[in-house]
Amino acid sequence: MNNHALITTDNLIKKFPVGKGWFTALNKINLTINEGEFCGLVGPSGSGKTTLLNIIGSLDIPTEGDAHVLGQSISGLTIKKAAALRNHHLGFIFQTYNLLPVYTVYENVELPLLLLKMSANERKKAVLQSLEWVGLLDKIKSRPAQLSGGECQRVSIARAMVKQPKLVLADEPTANLDAKNSHNILKTMEKLNSELKTTFLFATHDEKVIQYLQRKISLDDGRVVSDESTSSH
């Protein structure tokens, strides 16, 4: 395994205001995730997985401590810099797919590239490539409402992968899928991880996902309670 650190967290604390006090959702998290890993934050609901994933995705900021992603300090990012980091280097996959309903499959996948101001030719090549990875070339003109859940999540993977980001963050990607579709998309992501060396970080409590992970970082009550790598894969 290559030991080039992609993500590090440093005594990361996240508190949310609740009523008159504060709720500590993440408590002194110290983690290092290297390039090319296929790993996941696992743990029961409410353990802080999403909160951590959001901070790593520069969608939120730590209360104390810090996280570094691709060498950039999350707490030190301006709004613009954070947007640029997401735009260039991060891909997101959400539990509810979050596809734009009025866009076609093609347009949904193309959107990140439009934001990157890529030329039309390059865009087309990349979008078709990405849709080929997830096996949806025949649904280019469909709109999300015409697709099954599994297909929607595949579009969302294509959208996350289309710019070939360094890191893909997937929050409960299988929560709305049946077993067959869950395995299907995990196999796809596993393949992309090994072929393109894209780092994947999941947040999940789904056993079907966990069995694919090469590294399981268990959270409970905002703390890392175990961190195990499996060499079986």
Ligand X SMILES: Nc1ncnc2c1ncn2[C@@H]1O[C@H](COP(=O)(O)OP(=O)(O)O)[C@@H](O)[C@H]1O
Q: Which of 32, 34, 50, 75 binds ligand X (CB under 6 A)?
A: 50
Structure tokens at 56: 């790593």
- Pick what 25 binds: other proteins, ligand X, Mg ion, none; C-beta below 5 to 8 Å, kind-dependent: ligand X
The Cα–Cα gap between 212 and 40 comes to: 9
Q: Which of 50, 54, 75, 129 binds Mg ion (CB under 5 A)?
A: 50
Strand order across the 90-93 sheet = 90-93, 167-171, 199-204, 38-42, 215-220, 223-229
Q: Are residues 26 and 12 in contact, defined by beta-carbon separation less than 8 angstroms?
A: yes
Structure tokens at 104: 């076609």
Q: Which of 16, 114, 146, 148 binds ligand X (CB under 6 A)?
A: 16
Which residues are paired to 170 by β-bridges? 93, 202
Question: Rule CB under 5 A: is residue 54 a binding residue for Mg ion?
Answer: no
Give min distance, CB of 50 to other proteins, in A. 8
Give min distance, CB of 173 to other proteins, in A. 14
3-state secondary structure (DSSP) of residue 19 = coil
The Cα–Cα gap between 211 and 208 comes to: 6
Give min distance, CB of 175 to ligand X, in A. 11
Q: Would you say 25 or 136 has its CB closer to Mg ion?
A: 25
Question: Rule CB under 6 A: is residue 51 a binding residue for ligand X?
Answer: yes
Q: Would you say 41 or 212 has its CB closer to other proteins?
A: 41
Q: Among candidates 68, 71, 58, 75, which has minimal Cα distance to 31? A: 68
Q: Would you say 18 or 83 has its CB closer to other proteins?
A: 83
Residues in Cβ contact with 5 at an 8 Å cutoff, skipping those fewer than 6 apart: 32, 33, 34, 35, 68
Kindly determine how many residues on this chain lie close enough to bind other proteins according to the rule CB under 8 A: 30
Binding site for ligand X (CB under 6 A): 16, 18, 23, 25, 45-51, 203
Q: Which residues make up the interface to other proteins (CB under 8 A)? A: 50, 54, 57, 59-60, 79-80, 83-84, 86-88, 90, 92, 94, 96, 98-103, 107, 111-112, 114-117, 159
